[in-house]
Structure 1
């Protein structure tokens, strides 16, 4: 092998190593920032595992919303038709948040209660985010929360 061939081989190996390292770092960064969506039944069944952060999707149970006068701390219950899970948040809720509407909350599970860092809501009860509707199924009607049809995009 000539010195020129040896130098080219070294450059090829360095480029391959750098590319592999960059790919590995990107994969780790993306994996750490992914937040999977689970329904209350999946969380209570243990499907969420020991994930530090995930998303909870479902419908806010009518009559479950509680907030002290002048406080940011809010408590409500989310259901998927099979199970319910209490949710707490100290963040500002969106204007469209209401009982009986679909919500997706990002946060963590702590002592059987979901602590939400972010709550997203849709005001029209005829719309449920596709991910939530797929997980909840069209047949659930427990807890006075029918699963509406998914709106076409």
Structure 2
């Protein structure tokens, strides 16, 4: 959500060395071919830059600082994953959804998991939409959410 009356921001690209420019073109072409991005004529635009990772490879980053200045902050932001792990440190019990209780889970999820294969274009079609809706339905219905019976013994 943006501050009311905010104007679109379009920053000029940062200067890059020829090797960085070639790397940027290659990465954008790969993202385009895989269907993750598409050409745009939006009035919004933020510059990109490369940041060196520990292993020496380069990470493509987008500089959203100007956009952040006109964005209304979420009053209750999602917690950061490292903060969640810190809270779990020392915990004795964890819970998770046991997917064994969703009959045919891997078969149902197959159209969605195919999207994660390298080289697979992201195409959301009728089959994937049905798969998503069916999984969503099964994960929120009995017996997945059934509480254990307290009438007998209970062992973990």
The TM-score by the shorter chain falls in which range? Answer: under 0.3
Q: What TM-score, normalized to structure 2?
A: 0.21
Of Structure 1 and Structure 2, which has the larger fraction of its residues in helix? 2
Of Structure 1 and Structure 2, which has the larger fraction of its residues in strand? 1
Bigger relative CO (Cα 8 Å, ≥ 6 apart): 2
